[in-house]
Amino acid sequence: MQETVWRRTDRMFAVLILCQWAFGVACAVITSPKTWSGLNSQVHVHVWAALFLGGAISFLPVLLAWQRPGWVFTRHTIAVAQILWSALLIHLTGGRIETHFHIFGSLAFLAFYRDWRVLITATLVVAADHAIRGMFWPQSVFGVLAASQWRWLEHAGWVVFEDIFLIQACLFSQKEMREICAKRAALENVNQEIEHQIKLRTRELEFEKSVTEKQAVLLSRSNEELRQFAYVASHDLQEPLRMVTSYLQLISKRYKGKLDSDADEFIDFAVDGATRMKRLINDLLDYSRVSTHAKEKKQINAEDTFLKALSNLKIALEESDTVVTHDPLPQVWADDGQLERLFQNLVGNAVKYRKKDSKQAVHVRAQQTDTGWHFSIRDHGIGIAKEHQERVFVIFQRLHSAQEYSGTGIGLAVCQKIVQNHGGKIWIESEPDMGSVFHFTIANHEQKEFA
Ligand code: ADP
């Protein structure tokens, strides 16, 4: 900051000195252009003094201000030159006391440097100039032919008087400048630290992002591979299984009662195992088909779909004496087959997990939401404890043994996949022995487009 002030003041003085030069020459030309000796006239010596002496005084400071701005020697040279200019102008105006004010003006300008040492140099030059000229050429400096030999001291005294205030101003301004700079430096440090932190954090975030992206790619790849594996395995296993089942049934038909009782029992176990395996494979195939065989969604009537699901469950409903009621169901944007499977699994479970020796009643509701439709299927069955309510949506997770309730643990996993495929979520509200409410949402067409 100080350097800037010095350079700026150097430039200002270069211009000021050149202006003074022009002014000095103009003054000399206007006030005493010619000198006369009898009839002969010639250019007055003042004109030459203004031109050449002024030029000599101005040359070095202007050169330094131009070539070496901000240098300590430059501003002291400028201080000397400025005071010499005051001296020259005093001389050119015949030692007029008014021109002495030029010195005070010069000192005030020199204070622009905010460097008190420059004022000392200028004051010394003033004192020396007044002392020497007062002694040898008083007319040039005081405008009188004879002056007291101590008059220079009086002039120097006034200059020192002004210096006292200017020096104080310089010191004060330097102190202020230091304080401003300290604050700015502190601020810059804080800024730098913040910038550094931001850069670090950005780098970290970029790294995290790239890791997350990589993980997402890996996850989706492994999901895809798993899906394909589940589909291919369950599809390809069907054929040999069908063979095992049919031959086991053949053996059972032909040899039941012809071998010993152990053999009959073993054959029953084998047939039962094969049947369960067939169900498991079919369910697994269903699960992978939710994503592989998804059909395009369209506007459908959920009530029609629901009734189709009920007709698939006709025998189970009749056998269990289950009463199913429902509110009017809306038009929704969905894959018809998947919605049918969803209703079928949920109502089927309500039938399967009914309380023993009591009639099951199921009620289905639908409510519109901001983003689509909210369905709920209430039963009065055995209920599910809170801690199991999320777990049951995971594939193969069952809460009962095959002896208690038959099943593969895939039904609700299929439901969750279907709901997700429709931009919704599925959850349970239930307590053991108090029945369950299965809730699921389906997004509107526009919501799906947004998602
Ligand atoms: P599965 O019925 O083949 O066992 P699901 O995935 O359909 O498989 O169900 C997972 C588990 O959730 C079931 O084993 C059962 O314990 C529980 N469950 C599902 N529906 C109900 C229901 N309506 N009431 C009580 N429990 C249920």
Band of pLDDT at residue 41, cut at 50, 70 and 90: low
Q: Distance (Å, rounded) from C-alpha 140 to C-alpha 92?
A: 8
Q: Distance (Å, rounded) from C-alpha 31 to C-alpha 301?
A: 112
Q: Which atom of ligand 1 is nearest to the CA of 395?
A: 6
pLDDT digits (tens, 9 = 90+) for 74-98: 999 999 999 999 998 888 888 888 8
Least confidently predicted of 27-41, 242-256, 317-331: 27-41
Cα-to-chain-centroid distance, residue 233 = 47
The whole-number pLDDT of residue 34 equals 60
At residue 382, does pLDDT exceed 90? yes
Q: Which atom of ligand 1 is nearest to the CA of 409?
A: 8
Residue nearest to atom 11 of ligand 1 (CA): 398
Residue nearest to atom 19 of ligand 1 (CA): 349
At residue 36, does pLDDT exceed 70? no
For β-strands 361-368 and 323-326, DSSP reports them as parallel
Residue nearest to atom 16 of ligand 1 (CA): 399
Band of pLDDT at residue 245, cut at 50, 70 and 90: confident
Residue keyed to tokens 């009643």: 361
Distance 376 CA to ligand 1 centre (A): 16
Band of pLDDT at residue 227, cut at 50, 70 and 90: confident
At residue 450, does pLDDT exceed 60? no
Distance 134 CA to ligand 1 centre (A): 120
% of the chain at pLDDT higher than 90? 60
Q: In 10 A of CB 400, how many CB atoms?
A: 13
Q: Distance (Å, rounded) from C-alpha 281 to C-alpha 274?
A: 10
Provide the residue count of the chain.
451
Q: Which atom of ligand 1 is nearest to the CA of 408?
A: 3
At residue 43, does pLDDT exceed 80? no
The whole-number pLDDT of residue 434 equals 93
HEC letters along the chain:
CHHHHHHHHHHHHHHHHHHHHHHHHHHHHHHCCEEEECCEEEECHHHHHHHHHHHHHHHHHHHHHHHCCCCHHHHHHHHHHHHHHHHHHHHHCCCCHHHHHHHHHHHHHHHHHCCHHHHHHHHHHHHHHHHHHHHHCHHHHHCCCCCCCCHHHHHHHHHHHHHHHHHHHHHHHHHHHHHHHHHHHHHHHHHHHHHHHHHHHHHHHHHHHHHHHHHHHHHHHHHHHHHHHHHHHHHHHHHHHHHHHHHHHHHHHHHCCCCCHHHHHHHHHHHHHHHHHHHHHHHHHHHHHHHHCCCCCEEEEHHHHHHHHHHHCHHHHHHHCCEEEECCCCEEEECHHHHHHHHHHHHHHHHHCCCCCCCCEEEEEEEECCCEEEEEEECCCCCCCHHHCCHHHCCCCCCCCCCCCCCCCCHHHHHHHHHHHCCCCEEEEECCCCCEEEEEEEECHHHHHHC
Ligand 1 pocket (Cβ < 6 Å) reads 349-350, 353, 379, 381-384, 392, 398-400, 407-413, 436
The whole-number pLDDT of residue 446 equals 63
pLDDT digits (tens, 9 = 90+) for 317-356: 999 999 999 999 999 999 999 999 999 999 999 999 999 8
The whole-number pLDDT of residue 449 equals 45
Band of pLDDT at residue 375, cut at 50, 70 and 90: very high
The whole-number pLDDT of residue 198 equals 96
Residue nearest to atom 21 of ligand 1 (CA): 349
Least confidently predicted of 359-363, 364-368, 438-442: 359-363
Q: Are 440 and 424 in contact (CB under 8 A)?
A: yes
Average pLDDT of the residues of the chain: 89
Residue nearest to atom 23 of ligand 1 (CA): 350
220-240: average pLDDT? 81
Highest mean pLDDT among 48-52, 128-132, 284-288: 128-132
**Gyration radius of the chain over CA positions:** 53
The whole-number pLDDT of residue 321 equals 92
Mutate to test the pocket of ligand 1, among 287, 384, 393, 395 (most ligand atoms within 8 A of CB): 384
Q: Which atom of ligand 1 is nearest to the CA of 399?
A: 16
Distance 401 CA to ligand 1 centre (A): 11
At residue 293, does pLDDT exceed 80? no
Distance 229 CA to ligand 1 centre (A): 25
The whole-number pLDDT of residue 116 equals 94
417-421: average pLDDT? 94
pLDDT digits (tens, 9 = 90+) for 398-411: 999 888 898 899 99
Residue nearest to atom 3 of ligand 1 (CA): 407
Mutate to test the pocket of ligand 1, among 280, 282, 345, 353 (most ligand atoms within 8 A of CB): 353
At residue 223, does pLDDT exceed 90? no
118-138: average pLDDT? 91
Highest mean pLDDT among 20-29, 118-127, 399-408: 118-127
Least confidently predicted of 5-14, 174-183, 264-273, 392-401: 264-273
% of the chain at pLDDT higher than 70? 96
Mutate to test the pocket of ligand 1, among 279, 282, 349, 434 (most ligand atoms within 8 A of CB): 349
7-35: average pLDDT? 86
